[in-house]
Amino acid sequence: MTDFIKSLFFVRRCFSCAEVRANDDLFCDKCRLEWDKLTRVPCKTCGKKQRECACLPAKLRENVTRGIHLVLFEDELARRVVYATKRRMTNTLCRFLARSLARVIREEIDDLSDFAITYAPRKPKSVREYGFDQAELLADAIAEELSLPMVDLFCHARKSKLQKDLGASARAENAKKSYFLRGDAHAPTKKLMIVDDVITTGSTMGSLAALAKTLDFEEIVVVTIAKTPAK
């Protein structure tokens, strides 16, 4: 009865085409097929499907064990999903992405028992503007899906430039200045997953992974919705 009453007042529409959907998914059946197709696009480097590809940008290879992502940040639908997480993250969107990433994590990592999860903190100005930190919400949802501990390790400097406003050469230096460890930061486990919405050059995740290494984490995995194709 409760579900019936809800259906009278809340019309569920597809994230992509806005058509009314009959399921609890983010997409209608047609658009879900389109999204799933993006996760199967072969990597030009390793040849594996995107959800199985572990290739990393050069800036991450020193401190990161592997990367996990769903799609490439080049298709229009992939970009709309990522931008939505930044501007209007809904519970439906967050849960869909968390479930999708948790499924891939379980498939690609045999033993999750010694992992903790953290996130790349958003610039304080952006948190005030939008009212939330999308990476924190996503990391918390993934931690819940996987029954793993969530830890706050990093802070974002208040006075720093937005990465999206910088060229590739300036991102690495800006990332180093933008993040630092919290005063109470410590490694509660031997392994760590760092969650963010997208990897472009790898500068942000590279800086965070380097900071995490100083806490003596033995293994670091980066987890994102999308990744920019390697040049």
| Residue 163: predicted pLDDT | 47
Name the pTM for this structure.
0.88
pLDDT at 59: 87
Which of 41-50, 138-147, 150-159 has the weakest average pLDDT? Answer: 150-159
> What share of the chain in percent tops pLDDT 70?
87
| φ and ψ of 220, to 5 deg | -130, 130
Q: 161 pLDDT band (50/70/90 cuts)? A: low
pLDDT surpassing 50 at residue 166: no
User: pLDDT tier at 177 (50, 70, 90 boundaries)?
Assistant: confident
Q: SS3 of 213, please?
A: helix
pLDDT tens readout for residues 38-58:
999 999 899 999 999 989 988
What's the pLDDT score for residue 164? 54
pLDDT in the model for residue 23: 73
Residue 208: closest CA among 109, 120, 77, 97: 120
Q: What pLDDT is recorded for position 174?
A: 61
**Would you tell me how many other CB atoms lie within 10 Å of the CB of residue 11?**
8
What pLDDT does residue 116 have? 98
Instruction: Grade residue 85 by pLDDT with cuts at 50, 70 and 90.
Output: very high
pLDDT attached to residue 4: 41
The confidence band for 89, taking pLDDT boundaries of 50, 70 and 90, is very high
Lowest-confidence segment of 89-93, 133-137, 174-178 by average pLDDT: 174-178
For the cut 80, the answer to whether the pLDDT of residue 159 exceeds it is no
User: Who's near 97: CB < 8 A, 6+ residues apart?
Assistant: 70, 81, 85, 138, 141, 225
Tell me the pLDDT of the chain averaged across its residues: 88
> In this prediction, what percent of the chain has a pLDDT beyond 90?
73
Which tokens go with 144? 């819940």
